[in-house]
Amino acid sequence: MGPSATALAQVGKHVPRSAAESGTAQARPSSWRQLWHVPSYPPRSLIPERSVVLAPPLPWTRMVRPGPVTMEDGRRVDLLQYALTHQHDLALKPTLLHGGQGVLLGWSADTSAQAWEEQVRAALDGPYVIQRRIRPVPELFPGEDGDPIPWIVCWGAFTTSNGYGGIFARASTVESNVEVINVGTGAYAGSCLHVRPGAEQA
């Protein structure tokens, strides 16, 4: 397994599944952007070891194209028909924007069935993906008074050709009721510090 795949596998062991899943309604890291330009994910062009590593933390995602697609359980369904009949389980996202711009949440009270169908049909063969909704599990962090407060955290792991490159996180409190977590909606952002194995201690 190459260094990037190994790094992702190691990160996946330590990042809670609920944390990795909390990024459903957000723009993906720019380093992964080109991966969305293929009909299936993980891309068939990726070597098997990397596909296995990338698949678990990412929700089911497909380019918005007419015709059949493969589901998580291996079933083949018509993408357009599936998207229209499973509105409340899906999000529609543009591939080349960021910060949550252009994201349409099928489960939002503001998204009518008519608006969803119009947008999905308009997105066919365009730069859009349809993605499975993930219901994140809140994580507890101490508040100003020391009492635990539930937050929704989006953990982003980065890798380079040399392996693990770091983690960037965005988070909002459950109380804020924010569904697209980014700085534009008031989220807090930060990075994780770590010590390399074998590094000398000061």
Residue 103 lies in a domain: no
In angstroms, the CA 182 to CA 186 distance is 7
Residue 180 lies in a domain: yes
H or E stretch covering 131: strand 128-132
Residue 62 lies in a domain: no
Residue 194 lies in a domain: yes
Residue 94 lies in a domain: no
Domain range holding 202?
1-23+136-202
Residue 47 lies in a domain: no
Residue 43 lies in a domain: no
Q: In total, how many domains does the chain have?
A: 1
pLDDT in tens, the chain (202 residues): 444 444 434 444 433 333 333 333 433 333 333 333 344 444 455 555 555 555 556 789 999 999 999 998 999 999 999 999 999 999 999 998 877 788 999 999 999 999 999 999 999 999 999 999 988 889 999 988 999 999 999 888 887 777 778 888 899 999 988 888 877 788 889 888 777 777 665 5
Residues 76-102 as b or e (16 or more Cβ within 10 Å = b) = eeebbebbbeebeebbbbbbeeeebeb
